[in-house]
Amino acid sequence: MTRTMRAAVLHGAKDLRVENRDIPPVAPGEALVAVGSVGLCGSDLHYYLDGRNGGNVVRSPVVLGHEIGGTVAEVGPDVPNSWLRATVVVEPAMPCRTCAACAIGRYNLCDRGACLGSPPTDGGLADYVTVPVTQLHRVPDTLPAQAVPVLEPLAVAVHALRRAEFAPGESVLITGAGPVGLLVAQAARAWGAREITVCDVDTARLEACRTLGIERAVEPAELGGLRVDRSLECSGASAALPGVLAATRPGGRVVLVGTMPAGDIAARLGLVQRYEVDLVGTFRYAASFSAAVDLVERGAVDVTSLVTASFPLHEAEAAFSHAVSMAGLKTVVDCGQGTAS
């Protein structure tokens, strides 16, 4: 008898259907993960609303979801049985491991690989997903299933701080108090930041920041006179950039974490030249999941409280609608760790 599972399949913009599909076979080197929960990210919302995210276009039905947590249900013939029943978070970007970027360890810049949940590669909004075992990271069994997917954006935060060349004792500004911004703030605190300022226009998100123990949570008008060592722009709003640059000390460093819309921002960059501010980008992560798991395991970062809404898989459409409304912080879809039939 064929084993089947449920999957939330995007057929085009605003056309999301929960369908029955065959459970994918497990090849050598792979594991079948019974999905517990999947977090919804901004890129998922772009695919849902527009049928595309930048240059990636939905041309055929695809299962979204790259923030994936679950339990290993089966393993390939060459994978150690010690993986069975392990609680894991999935590292969704699968590099080629042979190109120049991969060779120097910057595999997040690989342009030959694939990423779960980015067309045409199916993601984790299903009962099950097969993943190369190299993409799995064990997490504590005590972490709630709904919080496990938040380790993926925490890896983004870890990589962003590394790109900032942050050192203990430095001051940090984070603009954008969404999930990634709040994770950056917590990681910076755990790694010894002297002073942390979080800026946002949403007072509810600033209050969430204070609840996490980051007291200096301000609106843009309150940035005047600030001069920090490292700034991390997490909102993706190009209008935030002038304030970020002005609030960064001469010789400081600004990291663009949020994806800004296409367009000419040259007019905003005069301060980069004038004060020799290093302006760098950051994309996904490289070798960052172990540090993310460590931060959560020792209680330095709270990922659980960032999950503010959860929907069952059969209500995936409602989950996307809720996430689009920008209510709360992180919306997750509860896949119930799958049941084969």
Domain chopping of the chain, boundaries: 4-147+303-334, 154-281
| pLDDT one-digit tens code per residue, 93-130 | 999 999 999 999 999 999 999 999 999 999 999 999 99
**CATH 3.40.50.720 given to domain 154-281:** yes
Model confidence band, residue 269 (pLDDT cutoffs 50, 70, 90):
confident
Range of weakest confidence among 134-148, 217-231, 325-339: 325-339
Range of weakest confidence among 165-169, 213-217, 239-243: 239-243
Predicted model pTM? 0.94
Give the three-state DSSP class for 142: coil
Residue 295's region, left for phi above 0, alpha for psi from -120 to 50, else beta, is alpha
pLDDT at residue 339, as a whole number: 37
Start-to-end C-alpha separation, the chain = 9
Q: Residue holding tokens 């709040």?
A: 182
Q: Residue holding tokens 């595309």?
A: 52
pLDDT at residue 340, as a whole number: 36
175 vs 238 pLDDT, higher one:
175
Classify domain 4-147+303-334 by CATH number. Answer: 3.90.180.10
268 burial (CB, 10 Å; 0-12 / 13-18 / 19+) is middle
Strand ranges in 189-239 using DSSP code E only, listed in sequence order: 195-199, 217-218, 228-233
* Residues 300-313, mean pLDDT to the nearest whole number: 98
Query: Average pLDDT over the chain, rounded to whole?
Result: 94
Token digits for 202?
């949403």
* Residues 122-148, mean pLDDT to the nearest whole number: 97
Q: Are the beta carbons of 335 and 36 closer than 8 angstroms?
A: yes
